[in-house]
Amino acid sequence: EKGTYAHYMLKEIDEQPAVMRRLVQEYTNASGELEVDEEITSKLNNSDRVYIVACGTSWHAGWVGKKLIENLTATPVEVHVASEFAYDMPIISEKPFFIFISQSGETADSRQVLVKVNELGYDSMTLTNVAGSTLSREAQTTMLLHAGPEIAVASTKAYTAQIGALAILAKVAGVVNGNENAVAFDLVHELGLVANAMEVLVNQKEIIADLAQEKLSTTRNAFYIGRGLDYFVSMEAALKLKEISYIQAEGFAAGELKHGTIALIEEGTPVIGLITEEVMGSHTRGNLKEVESRGADTLVISMEGLEKEGDNIILPKINTLLTPLVSVIPVQLLAYYASLQRGLDVDKPRNLAKSVTVE
Ligand code: F6R
């Protein structure tokens, strides 16, 4: 099934351009328009607040989803870790709409929340890769990721499919509501550009493998920093690195680093900066300078048009709302090569299972 690939993770990283294209196809109707189940868009549009509940990588996708839904539908969104929400529920609005994001659809922490949401009679949807999964059956409605089976423990193509699907949901719901941003957003075109950009990046494996060797081969810890969407991807980048390379890593809001954590920067500490947005990106560059002057070994991933001399990886230019779909590709590959170069079990890291069915 892996074919010529040494690991499922690398195969699944490589599949992402095709997954993006398939996702668009699956949600395009006979007249060539994006379409989402009417029950879902009306539940979202009738709600006064969306609550996204998830764990791990799916939770990270939820943060990007918040940005997309707020931008394209003007409905406020909260993002919650399932295991916290289950036992410490925040104040819920009058007309909430719950979105459970789960690749497997079997995560016990998320199910725990869904059981309570059902008891309370709230509207819900599960965004999952697995039709007929527990979370899919128990929520009122389902959107599928159509990403194909994800075998590697470290989630890659499910994360990008989750963000793509949330973008489609936000766009369609926004258009139904006549939201100007949603109407003006040519998502099919933009996701086509995303798929092309992903392809460019998955073809830069040697460059990224060399960077992993240079920056991550002996370190015990590492930091990812960014602002806005780049912060959300920094959290996902750090999780990916931790779980398969066992390097202690943290994804940090770039501006917050100096409020304490900068004390951890030593001679040679790797700090990887993500820069996909102009104003916030220029501040992140300032934060990179701060850590460099304290000895950090920096690596910069920047978007075309914002690049500076010396940046290590340049992302093809795509729409500012969709940057996580491309900025995550090189950080997935950095994690993959860091794990490989350390001789670790890339697809089956220690202490982890693909679906976590205990609370
Ligand atoms: C990280 C990873 C986990 C899962 C988390 C949620 O690579 O795979 O963090 O994202 O356990 O799993 P699902 O999405 O199946 O609910």
- The model's pLDDT over 181-198, given as tens digits with 9 standing for 90+, comes to 999 999 999 999 999 999
Residue nearest to atom 13 of ligand 1 (CA): 102
Cβ–Cβ under 8 Å, residues 98 and 44: no
Q: State whether residue 16 is helix, strand or coil.
A: helix
Query: Which ligand 1 atom lies nearest to the CA of residue 57?
Result: 10
Across 197-224, average pLDDT = 97
Q: State whether residue 305 is helix, strand or coil.
A: coil
Mutation test of ligand 1: which of 114, 155, 160, 358 has the most ligand atoms closer than 8 Å to its C-beta? 155
DSSP result, 181-237: HHHH--HHHHHHHHHHHHHHHHT-HHHHHHHHHHHHSS-SEEEEEESTHHHHHHHHH
Find all residues with CB under 8 Å of 69, minimum gap 6, and list them: 44, 50, 75, 77, 166, 169, 170, 173
Q: What is the pLDDT of residues 98-121, one digit of tens each?
A: 999 999 999 999 999 999 999 999
- Distance in Å, CA 337 to ligand 1 centroid: 20
Q: State whether residue 50 is helix, strand or coil.
A: strand
Report residues whose beta carbon is within 6 angstroms of any ligand 1 atom: 55-58, 102-104, 107, 110, 154-155, 239, 243, 355-356
Cα maximum dimension of the chain: 58
Across 149-172, average pLDDT = 98
Helices in 74-156 by DSSP H: which ranges?
82-85, 108-120, 134-138
pLDDT at 97 (0 to 100)? 98
Mean pLDDT (the chain, rounded):
97
Which token pair is 204? 């830069």
Residue 119 CB neighbour total at 10 angstroms:
8
Query: Which ligand 1 atom lies nearest to the CA of residue 110?
Result: 16
Asked about 242 being catalytic, the answer comes back as: no
pTM of whole model > 0.95?
A: yes
Rg of the chain, C-alpha, whole Å: 20
